[in-house]
Amino acid sequence: MKLQNDLLLRAARGEATSRPPVWLMRQAGRILAEYRAVRQEAGSFINLVSNPELAAEVTIQPVDILGVDAAIIFSDILVIPEAMGLPYEMVEQKGPNFPETIQTESDLARLRIADPEKDLSYVLNAIKITKSRLQERVPLIGFAGAPFTIFCYMTEGKGSKTFSVAKKILYSDPELAHHLLQMITDSTIRYLKAQVNAGVDLVQLFDSWAGVLSPEHYQAYSLPYLKQICDAITEVPVTVFAKGAFFARKSIGELNCSVVGLDWNMDIAESRQLIPGKTLQGNLDPCVLYASYDEIRKQTRSMLEAFGSHPFIANLGHGVYPDTDPDKVRCFIETVREFRATQP
């Protein structure tokens, strides 16, 4: 069956579109009362992620309620370390926590390369259910964490402002770092290929902690592994979103990906020059959605006009914040949907 709304895929391929497609990172989540009801039914975040029926339900909610041009499968980037043998827990008001971490080469003996059909079947089933229920209305996006970001959690054990424990390993034991990064990369390639086989139309790599690295370390510990994944996933378009890695935009643009995501600190005009051959995605500051409706429209139009004729996908520069008013989100989406480019 042909997609009824294929704006996202056409934009990802660099094709002309009547208007820019729009979706939001973290669009399925706490901004929606409907999500909170399902989350309560599930009993915990991890229960929701691991229940294919409920995960499919919350994946589709933003399509029905907000009018976005794509769904993104409801899951978590930390399912990969769990599938590799390092389980995590989600602590209310604090975030993810790993009871055990990887600190030495001997710790790697506890890990395995993930088998997605066995270890992540609940995600694949959620994708299949979602595709069936969407009835080809909009594309379905799959995703995974970039290897360095997953490495941060597996070594640090939790979120951090600096990830100094993770970065210490880069300096003190680079062999261990590369060994673990390769295991994560191999697992991620298998996982994304399984997602494609299950039905996703596009995949996104989230390098959420890219900005804690120096340019030199990003070249050594992130880009080579992103390259392996981008080279391996040839069946669908690939988006790379590296938050904070403004210094690596040109290098990321040289990867075998279709779309480069921008955070709100990455200047659009400069990014257009640095990445001429790729579709760009982003990059409104999520905090704009706390402003008045008029200001949201103004800021959104300014962003859209800055992208001009360069192929792009409208989004925020990071995930929508959980206390954002859904009506403000709708205002952003409707402003994009009403936009028609006037620049040549």
Residue 90 · residue 44 · CB < 8 Å:
yes
Task: Give DSSP secondary structure letters for 105-162.
Answer: GGGGGG-----HHHHSHHHHHHHHHHHHHHTTSS-EEEEEE-HHHHHHHHHHSB--SS
**E-state strands within the chain:** 71-72, 89-91, 95-97, 140-145, 202-207, 238-242, 259-261, 279-284, 312-316
Q: Which residue type does 257 have?
A: C
Q: How far apart are CA 61 and CA 36, in angstroms?
A: 11
Residue 256 · residue 231 · CB < 8 Å:
yes
Instruction: Evaluate the omega torsion of the peptide bond into residue 125 and state whether it is cis, within 30 degrees of 0.
Output: no
Residue 343 · residue 50 · CB < 8 Å:
no
The residues annotated as belonging to the active site are 26, 30, 39, 76, 153
